[in-house]
Amino acid sequence: MNQTIETILNHRSIRKFKDEALTKEQIHTIVKAAQQASTSSNVMAYTIIGITDNALKEELYKVSGHSHVKNNAHLYMFCGDLHRIYQLANADEKVTIADNLESTEQFIVATIDATLAAQNAALAAESMGLGICYIGSLRNDINRVNELLELPEHVIPLFGLVVGYPDHQPDIKPRLPLEAIYHENKYSPFHEQQKHIEAYDNEMKQYYETRSSNTKIDTWSDQMLRKFSEPTRMDVTPFVKQKGFNKK
| Each residue's pLDDT tens digit, 50-64 | 999 999 999 999 999
pLDDT score recorded for residue 191:
96
Q: Are strands 131-135 and 155-164 parallel, antiparallel or unpaired?
A: antiparallel
Residue 247 in any domain: the answer is no
Domain boundary among 170, 200, 218: 170
Contact 123, 7 (CB under 8 A): yes
φ, ψ of residue 171 to 5 degrees: the values are -65, 150
Separation CA 42–CA 236 (nearest Å):
27
Q: In angstroms, what CA-CA distances link 247 with 55, 101, 124, 160, 242?
A: 34, 9, 35, 25, 9
Separation CA 123–CA 8 (nearest Å):
7
**Are 122 and 162 members of one domain?**
yes
**Are 32 and 122 members of one domain?**
yes
* Domain containing residue 183: 173-242
Per-residue pLDDT tens digits for 145-189: 999 999 999 999 999 999 999 999 999 999 999 999 999 999 999
Domain boundary among 170, 200, 230: 170
| Residues in contact with 100: Cβ distance below 8 Å, sequence separation at least 6, in sequence order | 106
**Are 14 and 109 members of one domain?**
yes
Q: Which of 82-96, 99-113, 218-232 is the least confident region?
A: 82-96
Domain boundary among 112, 135, 170: 170
Residue 196 in any domain: the answer is yes
> Is residue 90 over pLDDT 90?
no
